[in-house]
Amino acid sequence: MDRDIARSKKPFIIVLNKCDLVSKETIEKTKSRFSKIAPTVFVSTKDRFGTTMLRHKILEIAGIKGRDILVGSLGYPNTGKSSVINGVAGKHKAGTSPISGHTKGVQLVDAGSRIMFIDTPGVIPFGENDQYLQGLLSVKSASHLEDPVGVAMKIIEKMCVENKASLESFYHVTIEGQHSYDVLELIGRQCNFLKKKGEVDEARAASRVINDWQKGLLLI
């Protein structure tokens, strides 16, 4: 996407929303990598962080005087594009929802200071068949994934590598090198997701893990 925009000779900014979900160390590493591609701004609409900086950066790189600055927004569904626009505008002008696909059509949003945003539905790259990425990036909710158990296991594996203590604390479980499926069963049992005869309902447990991840409750 960045190459296509560069070929069109349009200036662009990389905006990384939900930065409150990761550590400062992760932010610094990511900023170092993405800043080599384009100006990069970290935003947390939840904490009202970064939106003023984004406004200034838009005005700076646009370099347009005397007329409106038209700003497009591109990205995966449910990454908070509309929330970022509302943050820059200072008002709730673009509809938002934690459910993927809330924005149905193109709408213009006046953010003030001559900045006009084009709020668009999320874009899923053609040929994107990776279930894990779709779950991880909230492109699809648990109910729309073909293999939610597999996706939940991948999320558990990621959490065990990057912040096992957070996973243990959130679900009140102890993880001692078990396979990710066994950890999923631990979580299901702890959440009392049980079938008849006391078996763990792995589908409900997987949905819980995916939903918690997509709501930003599992921190890395």
pLDDT tens for each residue of the chain, 220 residues long: 667 777 777 889 999 988 888 888 888 889 899 998 889 999 998 888 999 999 999 998 887 777 788 888 888 777 788 889 988 888 766 544 444 445 456 778 888 888 988 887 766 554 555 778 888 877 788 988 889 999 999 999 999 998 899 999 999 999 998 899 999 999 999 999 999 888 999 999 999 999 999 888 888 7
At residue 23, the pLDDT reads: 81
pTM for this prediction: 0.63
Domains of the chain plus CATH, in order, are 2-119 (3.40.50.300), 131-214 (1.10.1580)
Distance (Å, rounded) from C-alpha 17 to C-alpha 51? Answer: 10
Quickly list H helices, 101-199: 131-136, 148-171, 180-190
At residue 98, the pLDDT reads: 45
- At position 73, the amino acid (one-letter code) is S
Pairing of strands 115-119, 107-112: antiparallel
What's the token pair of residue 220? 């890395």
At residue 125, the pLDDT reads: 55
What's the token pair of residue 196? 């008849």
How wide is the angle at C-alpha 19 spanned by C-alphas 15 and 22, nearest 5°? 140
At residue 92, the pLDDT reads: 63
Q: Give the CA count within 13 Å in the CB-facing half-sphere of 187.
A: 28
At residue 94, the pLDDT reads: 54
